[in-house]
Amino acid sequence: MNGRELLIGVTGGIAAYKTAALVSRLVQAGAGVSVVMTASATRLVAPATFRALTGRPVRTGVFDEPGQPYGAHIGLAEEADLLCVAPATANFLAKAAVGIADDLLSTLYLSFPGRILAVPAMNNVMWNKPVVQRNVQQLRADGVHFVGPEEGWLACRAKGMGRMSNPDTIFDAIEQHLEAK
């Protein structure tokens, strides 16, 4: 990971707390990590958490970067080796599958030329909906790589498929994809 530049997108799933552990491990392994959060994600984990873990500003808005004349989505996309969205909510998967770019993360997704990993996390009923599965199939056809989800205890007090993979599993997947690049 030494010297690699990674983008971590954080969406508004309760599993966002696990992403902090992932980011910490990536930084400790020598990666440069930039975090982009959706507005919903900031309601679950404070941007200050990721700012402290990465030593970098956390990006949340399309027009927040005066030092990026072409927009943060362009500058960040040009600098990174890999984009990992964890958690990837049903909302994010739907926007990505049809090309909606209405926030910094979805705009960055469309601007990113490199390898993309999606780490789904959602309620098991949501995960099993035909529309979500169609979106996943479309994203796979578009070249997005998936890590999980797994079966387990969910925040909705149910057990089922939809649990975000643990940070070690995601770390290993990122490492494998960087080696393959």
Question: At what angle are helices 90-98 and 130-141 packed, to 10 degrees?
Answer: 50
CB 72 within 8 A of CB 101: no
Active-site residue (options: 14, 74, 125, 156):
156
Contacts 24+ apart (CB under 8 A), 63-66: 64/104
Question: How far is the C-alpha of 30 from the C-alpha of 112, rounded, in Å?
Answer: 22
Active site residue 84: no
Give the gyration radius of the chain's Cα atoms.
Answer: 15
CB 51 within 8 A of CB 58: yes
For residue 114 the two structure tokens come to: 């490199």
Give every CB contact of residue 168 below 8 A, 6+ residues apart in sequence.
Answer: 25
Segment holding 35, helix H or strand E: strand 32-37
Provide the terminal-to-terminal Cα distance of the chain, rounded to the nearest Å.
12
Where in the sequence numbering do the catalytic residues fall? 156
